[in-house]
C-alpha cells in the first residue's frame, strides 16, 4: 500500500464511527492469494466429506437373493423372503454389510438402523463440534473432525460385528458433521462479504463432486470393506496440513486474543502482497473488538431462544423454516438411499443423482440473485415434490420404470437446490440477535428428518409394498413444504433486521419480483435489485430506520 493510501486509511479511521471485520480484511488484501489458499484447503477437505456422507448407499446395498435351504421339504423355488427358509444365497459378486450379516427379511430393520445411527451421529456432531469450535477454535475443531472421520471410518471398515460397526458409524457421522459445519464457518470468516455467496456455493459443489467420485469408486470396488477403507483413508493426509493452516482471525478477535490476531493478519497482508501499517491495523482491531463487545452485551442482556416463538411473525417463520429443514433432509437423503429401488444400474443411477446437484446449485444461484428467495425456493420445492408424486401415474410395467428414475433425478436436482437455499433464506429471515440460534434449531430439525429417512426407504422392502412408496411419501412432504414456504416473506430486497422488535415492526414483502432491474447496494454490503419508488409512495417500515449492521460477518448472502 502506498503512503497516500496509508494516510487515507488513517483518515478513515478517525472519521469512521465503527469498524467491521470486512474492513479489516480489505486492509490486508481481501480475498488475496493467502485467503484463496486457505479456502482451497477447505474445498479439498469437502471431497472426503462427500465420500463419507453417502457411502452408506453402497455398504447397505441389497443384492438379489434366494432361499437355498428350507426347514421343511419344499418343491417350490423361492425368490426373496420365504417363511420356512433357513439359509439364503446372494446372486451377485457384490458384497455389503447386508450380505455380511444377512440383513434381509426379518433382519432388514437392522440395515436401516446402521444408517439411522449415522444420521444420529450427524445430530450429535453438529452440537458437539459447534460448541468445541466456539470455545477452542476453528482450527482444532477442523482437524479433530478430520481425524475422527478417518479413524471411525477405518475402524468401521474392519469391524467384525454389527454392533461395533454401528458404533463407529455413529462416530463417523458425528465427525462428518463437524467437518461440514466448521469448514463452512471457517470459510465464511476469512472471506469478504461480497464473495461469500459464491464461496459458499463452490464449497458445497466440492461435496457434490465427492458424491460423484463415490459412485465411480463403488462401481470399481465391489467389496464393501475395501470401499469403506478407500473413502475413509484419504482424509488422513489432510492432517499433515495442521501446521500450515492458521486459526481464524475472526475467532481470535472474538476471544480477545488481539495480539495473535494482529500477527496473523499481518501475515495475511504480507502473503497477499499488501503493505499495511502495523499500528493502524492494531488500532482497527481494537476498535472493532470494542464495538463487538458492546453488541454482544446488549444481545446477551435482552434476547434468548424463546424469542424465536414469542412473537407472531417469528413464530410463523420458525414453524415454517423448521418444517422445511426437516423435509429437505428427509427427501435429500431419502432419494439417495432409495437408489437401489430404481430401475437400471445402481451405480449409474447414483452417479446421475449426484452429478445433477451441480446444475441444481447453479440454477439456485441464478434464480436467487435474479428473482429473490421466496418464489424460487417455493417453486423448486413444489416442482421436486410434484415430480416424486408423478410416479403414481407411471404404469408398473418394466418398460416404464425408467420414467420413475427420471422423475427421481428431477426431484433430486430440485431438493439439492432447496437444501442450499434454505440455509441462505433462514439466515435472512432471523434477526442478527438470534440468527445463530435460529440456524441451530432449524438444523436440528433437519437431523431428525434424516434419522427417520432409512425407515421410510425400508417400506419398499416390505412384502406386497410398491417400490415407489418412499418416493410418494417424499413427494407429499415436498409439496406441503413448498406451499408453506409461500407464507414466508421475501428477504432479498429488504435490509436484514437486527432485533426481534424490528422483525415485528417492519412490513413484510410478499411481492413477486420478476421484473426488477434496478441495482442498489444495501447497508450490509449486498447488491439488491430494487424497484423504482413511486414519487407519491410513502416511506415503508422496511426502508425506514434501517439498522446499523454491526455484525455483517453473520450474513451469508
Run of H or E including 66: strand 65-70
The grid cell for 141 is 475443531
- 549 has a pLDDT exceeding 50: no
Judged by average pLDDT, the poorest of 356-370, 459-473, 531-545 is: 531-545
Closest CA to 201 of 49, 417, 47: 417
Tell me what the mean pLDDT of segment 528-556 comes to.
38
Domain locations in the chain as residue ranges: 18-55+103-300, 62-95, 301-511
Q: What is the pLDDT of residues 342-394, one digit of tens each?
A: 888 889 999 999 999 889 888 988 898 888 889 999 999 999 999 999 988 88
Q: Residue 299: its pLDDT value, please?
A: 54
Q: Is the pLDDT of residue 189 over 90?
A: no
CA-closest candidate to residue 323, choices 479, 442, 453: 442
Q: Do domains 18-55+103-300 and 301-511 have the same CATH topology?
A: yes
Mean pLDDT of 231-235: 94
Residues with Cβ within 8 Å of residue 322, at least 6 apart in sequence: 441, 442, 445
pLDDT at 4 over 70: no
Task: Tell me how far apart the alpha carbons of residues 120 and 113 are, in angstroms, rounded to a whole number.
Answer: 10
What is the distance of C-alpha 305 from the center of its chain? Answer: 22
Beta bridge pairs of residue 317: none
106, 113, 105: which is closest to 60 by C-alpha? 113
Q: Is the pLDDT of residue 396 over 70?
A: yes
Distance in angstroms (rounded) separating the CA atoms of residues 357 and 373: 19
- 43 pLDDT more than 70: yes
- What's the mean per-residue pLDDT of the chain? 83
Q: What percent of the chain has pLDDT over 90?
A: 42
* Residue 541 pLDDT level (bands cut at 50, 70, 90): very low
CATH domain 301-511 topology: Growth Hormone; Chain: A; (1.20.1250)
pLDDT the model gives residue 77: 63
Q: How far apart are the C-alpha atoms of 342 and 155, rounded to whole Å?
A: 31
H or E segment at 98? helix 97-101
pLDDT digits (tens, 9 = 90+) for 64-97: 888 877 776 665 666 677 777 878 888 777 889 9
Q: What is the arithmetic mean of pLDDT over 267-289?
A: 88
Closest CA to 333 of 184, 449, 495: 449
Report pLDDT for 485. Answer: 95
User: 204-221 burial, b for 16+ CB within 10 Å, e for fewer?
Assistant: bbbbbbbbbbbbebbeeb
Looking at 29-43, 367-381, 524-538, which range is the least confident one?
Answer: 524-538
- Least confidently predicted of 292-306, 447-461, 503-517: 292-306
Q: Match domain 18-55+103-300 to its CATH number in 1.20.1250.20, 2.60.110.10, 3.30.420.40, 3.40.50.2000.
A: 1.20.1250.20
Least confident of 35-44, 45-54, 126-135, 328-337: 126-135
For 40, phi and psi rounded to 5 degrees?
A: -60, -40
Of 11-15, 162-166, 434-438, 545-549, minimum mean pLDDT range: 545-549
Q: Which of 412, 391, 421 is nearest to 485 (CA)?
A: 421
User: What integer pLDDT is reported at residue 74 of this predicted model?
Assistant: 62
Is the per-residue pLDDT at 59 higher than 50?
yes
pLDDT above 50: residue 8: no
pLDDT digits (tens, 9 = 90+) for 333-356: 999 999 988 888 889 999 999 999
The rounded distance, in Å, linking the Cα atoms of 84 and 335 is: 33
Q: For 260-263, which contacts have Cβ atoms below 8 Å and span 24 or more sequence positions? A: 261/285
More confidently predicted of 4 and 269: 269
Mean pLDDT score, 411-437 = 85
**Is the separation of the CB atoms in 134 and 186 below 8 Å?**
no
Which of the pair, 374 or 10, is modelled with greater confidence?
374
Q: What is the pLDDT of residue 3?
A: 44
Most confident of the following: 131-140, 183-192, 478-487, 496-505: 478-487
- What pLDDT is stored for residue 76 in this prediction? 62
- The dihedral built from the CA positions of residue 153, 159, 165 and 171, taken in this order, carries a sign that is negative
Rounded to 5, what percent of the chain is helix, strand, coil?
70, 5, 25
Amino acid at each position: 500500500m502506498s503512503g497516500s493510501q496509508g494516510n487515507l486509511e488513517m483518515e478513515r479511521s478517525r472519521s469512521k464511527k465503527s469498524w467491521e471485520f470486512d474492513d479489516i480484511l480489505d486492509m490486508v488484501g481481501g480475498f488475496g492469494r493467502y485467503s484463496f489458499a486457505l479456502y482451497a484447503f477447505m474445498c479439498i477437505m469437502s471431497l472426503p466429506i462427500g465420500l463419507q456422507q453417502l457411502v452408506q448407499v453402497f455398504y447397505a446395498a441389497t443384492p438379489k437373493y434366494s432361499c437355498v435351504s428350507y426347514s421343511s421339504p419344499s418343491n417350490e423355488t423361492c425368490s426373496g423372503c420365504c417363511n420356512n427358509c433357513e439359509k439364503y444365497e446372494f446372486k451377485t459378486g457384490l458384497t455389503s454389510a447386508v450380505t455380511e450379516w444377512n440383513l434381509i427379511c426379518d433382519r432388514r430393520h437392522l440395515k436401516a438402523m446402521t444408517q439411522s445411527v449415522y444420521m444420529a451421529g450427524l445430530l450429535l456432531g453438529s452440537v458437539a463440534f459447534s460448541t468445541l469450535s466456539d470455545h477452542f477454535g476453528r482450527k482444532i475443531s477442523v482437524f479433530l473432525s478430520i481425524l475422527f472421520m478417518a479413524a471411525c471410518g477405518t475402524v468401521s471398515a474392519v469391524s467384525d460385528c454389527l454392533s461395533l460397526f454401528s458404533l463407529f458409524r455413529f462416530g463417523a457421522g458425528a465427525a462428518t458433521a463437524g467437518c461440514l459445519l466448521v469448514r463452512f464457518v471457517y470459510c465464511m470468516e476469512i472471506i469478504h462479504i461480497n464473495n461469500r455467496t459464491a464461496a459458499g456455493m463452490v464449497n458445497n459443489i466440492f461435496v457434490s463432486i465427492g458424491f460423484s467420485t463415490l459412485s465411480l469408486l463403488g462401481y470399481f470396488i465391489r467389496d464393501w470393506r475395501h470401499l469403506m477403507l478407500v473413502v475413509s483413508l484419504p482424509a488422513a493426509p489432510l492432517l499433515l496440513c495442521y501446521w500450515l493452516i492458521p486459526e481464524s482471525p475472526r475467532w481470535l478477535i472474538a476471544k480477545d486474543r488481539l495480539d495473535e490476531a494482529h500477527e496473523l493478519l499481518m501475515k495475511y497482508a504480507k502473503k497477499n502482497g499488501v503493505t499495511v501499517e502495523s499500528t493502524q491495523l492494531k488500532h482497527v482491531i481494537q476498535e472493532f473488538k470494542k464495538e463487538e463487545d458492546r453488541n454482544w452485551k446488549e444481545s446477551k442482556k435482552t434476547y434468548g431462544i424463546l424469542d424465536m416463538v414469542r412473537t407472531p411473525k417469528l413464530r410463523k417463520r420458525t414453524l415454517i423454516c423448521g418444517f422445511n429443514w426437516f423435509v429437505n433432509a428427509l427427501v435429500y437423503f431419502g432419494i439417495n438411499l432409495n437408489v437401489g429401488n430404481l430401475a437400471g444400474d445402481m451405480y449409474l443411477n447414483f452417479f446421475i443423482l449426484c452429478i445433477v446437484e451441480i446444475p441444481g446449485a447453479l440454477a439456485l444461484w441464478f434464480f436467487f440473485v435474479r428473482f429473490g428467495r421466496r418464489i424460487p425456493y417455493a417453486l423448486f420445492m413444489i416442482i421436486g415434490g410434484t415430480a416424486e408424486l408423478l410416479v403414481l401415474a407411471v404404469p408398473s410395467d418394466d418398460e416404464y420404470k425408467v420414467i420413475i428414475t427420471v422423475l427421481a433425478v428431477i426431484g433430486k436436482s430440485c431438493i439439492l437446490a432447496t437444501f442450499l437455499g434454505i440455509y441462505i433464506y433462514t439466515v435472512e429471515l432471523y434477526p442478527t440477535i438470534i440468527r445463530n440460534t435460529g440456524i441451530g434449531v432449524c438444523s436440528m430439525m433437519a437431523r431428525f428428518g434424516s434419522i427417520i429417512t432409512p425407515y421410510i426407504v425400508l417400506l419398499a422392502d416390505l412384502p406386497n409394498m410398491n417400490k415407489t412408496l418412499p418416493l410418494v411419501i417424499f413427494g407429499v412432504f415436498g409439496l406441503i413444504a413448498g406451499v408453506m414456504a409461500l407464507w414466508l416473506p421475501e428477504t432479498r430486497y429488504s435490509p436484514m433486521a437486527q432485533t426481534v422488535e424490528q422483525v415485528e415492526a417492519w412490513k413484510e414483502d410478499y411481492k413477486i419480483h420478476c421484473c426488477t432491474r434496478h441495482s442498489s447496494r444495501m447497508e450490509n454490503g449486498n447488491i439488491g435489485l430494487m424497484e423504482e419508488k413511486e414519487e407519491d409512495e410513502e416511506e415503508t417500515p422496511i426502508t425506514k430506520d434501517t439498522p446499523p449492521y454491526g455484525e455483517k460477518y453473520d450474513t451469508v448472502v
